[in-house]
Amino acid sequence: MAQRLHLVFGGELVNPTQNVFKDVKNIHIVGMFPDYASAFSAWKAEAQRTVDDAHMRYYIAHIHRLRDEAQPASATEELGI
C-alpha cells in the first residue's frame, strides 16, 4: 500500500477570490504529514494564526494522489535515483 503523504503550505494571494500566490518564492511550507488528521491540525493552526489577513491562505495537498501506483515507474525511479 502506498504511503499517504500530505503537504501543508500557504502564503499571500494576489486576490482573496483566486488561488494565485503573490510571490511563489515566499510560499510558507508548513510541512509534510503522514496522515490527513495531522495535516489538518497543522493547516488549522496556520489558518487560525493568519485569520485577520484576508490575503493569506493555507492548503493541504494530497501528495499520494499525484502518483498512480498502477503506472510503470519512470526511468530515473527504476534506477533508484
- Summarised one tens digit per residue, pLDDT across range 14-40 is 999 999 999 999 999 999 999 999 999
CA distance 64 to 12: 25
- Displacement of CA 81 from its chain's centroid (Å): 23
Q: pLDDT tens digit string along 37-51?
A: 999 999 999 999 999
Pair 58, 50: CB distance under 8 Å = yes
Task: Quickly count: other Cβ atoms within 10 Å of residue 7's Cβ.
Answer: 17
Residue 48 near residue 18 (C-beta atoms within 8 A)? no
* pTM, entire model: 0.77
Q: Which domains does the chain have, with CATH numbers?
A: 6-78 (3.30.70.2400)
> Whose CA is closest to 3, among 63, 59, 72?
63
